[in-house]
Structure 1
């Protein structure tokens, strides 16, 4: 059985009851990537969790696209910084254990 890596924008928008233009706008702001399968615009299944978060920002918290773009960039920076801190912490722990 073949697994699908993409879902059509139409199916996704029907499931979440959102307008297609919202996904297209997210793509214009480079917040999601739109793929084309058989001349049909699709989104990658791996991006569904991100899109769900963006849907909540916009439709539940009433944040405009520009605000979503700013929030998304800041959250990505925080995530990168957290990874850097963890990597540095692991290195520090390694070198501290060498001294023992």
Structure 2
């Protein structure tokens, strides 16, 4: 059985020098998923990269929650467009390469 890695929000607050309310507001706004494990709010390890991205946007760019949501949506769309361009380029190469 695979071990599920959950990180307590309290530890993340210490690590990133943030208040618990920051993570609660992210959860209320729908930007992260918080889980309760043994009475503590936790974040799954798979979401840590997204949480770090959110923290960088918030700190480095001084962006509020609404702005973070917009930035994340724009980044997601950019990634989707880059993937689509790559697929289209691969299709074009099939027609350009000599046999």
> Smaller-chain TM-score range?
0.7 to 0.9
TM-score norm. by structure 1 comes to: 0.82
2:66 partner SS: helix
> Is 1:19 equivalent to 2:24 in the alignment?
no
2:42 partner SS: strand
In structure 1, the gaps of 5 or more residues are none
- 2:80 maps to 80
1:59 partner SS: helix
Q: 1:95/1:28 Cα in 2 relative to 1: closer, same or farther (>3 Å)?
A: farther
Figure out how many residues of one structure are paired with residues of the other and give that number.
98
The CA RMSD over aligned residues, in Å, is: 1.9
Equivalence map 1:53-72=2 (5 Å): 53-72=53-72
| Distance (whole Å) between structure 2 residues aligned to residue 77 and residue 9 of structure 1 | 29
User: Residue 61 of structure 1: CA displacement?
Assistant: 2.1
| Distance (whole Å) between structure 2 residues aligned to residue 88 and residue 24 of structure 1 | 41
In structure 2, the gaps of 5 or more residues are none
| Distance (whole Å) between structure 2 residues aligned to residue 70 and residue 32 of structure 1 | 14
User: Residue 78 of structure 1: CA displacement?
Assistant: 0.5
| Distance (whole Å) between structure 2 residues aligned to residue 52 and residue 20 of structure 1 | 15
> Is 1:10 equivalent to 2:7 in the alignment?
no
TM-score norm. by structure 2 comes to: 0.83
